[in-house]
């Protein structure tokens, strides 16, 4: 009787480990790909500063809903900002066309060219960074 219970318990443990192993592989495979972005809506500001607009966004993990905390968002000309712990950021810029780079340790760097910022406008962007395979289970 006791050996039957132990065999069932051992089988349950083995099946649980197999399931967890497959889940880890699925999780890593799901985030493979190339970093990307989506431009969202534009909204007029209530009290705009003449000639300035905002780039407002969130940095997420590609293929997942998880957010990337503390990503660095840098625009040409040396200005940069760090996303908060929830992956959100707001970058105020003079109107114009910019190249923006998003980087974070453990994720592929993303360079977005020709981002047009209009004065008096909030521009929304959703950034999705692909993970690098360094330090990940395979």
What's the rounded Cα separation, in Å, for the pair 61 and 94? Answer: 29
Query: d(Cα 120, Cα 82) in Å, to the nearest integer?
Result: 23
Same domain, 76 and 110: yes
Q: How many Å from the N-terminal Cα to the C-terminal Cα in the chain? A: 39
DSSP string, 57-119: EEEEETTSS-B-TT-EEEETTS-EEE--TTSEEEEEEESEEEEEEEE-TTB--EEEEEEEE-T
Is 90 found in the same domain as 62? yes
Residues 9 and 68 grouped into a single domain: no
Q: Please state the rounded mean pLDDT for residues 36-40.
A: 83
Structural domain harbouring 112: 33-129
Does one domain contain both 7 and 39? no
Q: What is the pLDDT of residues 76-121, one digit of tens each?
A: 877 899 999 999 999 999 999 999 999 999 999 999 999 999 999 9
Q: What is the pLDDT of residue 35?
A: 87
User: Which of the two residues, 103 and 35, has the higher pLDDT score?
Assistant: 103
pLDDT of residue 6: 64
Domains of the chain: total: 2
Q: Are residues 62 and 120 in the same domain?
A: yes
Least confident of 8-12, 15-19, 44-48: 15-19
């Amino acid at each position: 009787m006791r050996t039957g219970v132990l065999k069932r318990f051992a089988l349950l443990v083995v099946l649980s480990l197999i399931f967890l192993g497959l889940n880890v592989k699925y999780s890593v495979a799901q985030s493979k790909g190339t970093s990307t972005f989506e431009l969202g809506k534009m909204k007029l500001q209530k009290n705009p500063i003449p000639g300035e607009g905002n780039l407002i966004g969130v940095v997420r993990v590609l293929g997942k809903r998880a957010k990337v905390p503390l990503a660095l968002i840098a625009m040409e000309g040396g200005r940069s900002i760090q996303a908060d712990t929830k992956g959100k950021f707001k970058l105020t810029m003079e109107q114009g066309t910019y190249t923006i780079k998003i980087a974070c340790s453990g994720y592929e760097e993303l360079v977005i060219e020709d981002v047009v910022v209009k004065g008096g406008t909030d521009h929304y962007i959703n950034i999705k960074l692909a993970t690098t395979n360094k330090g990940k289970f395979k």
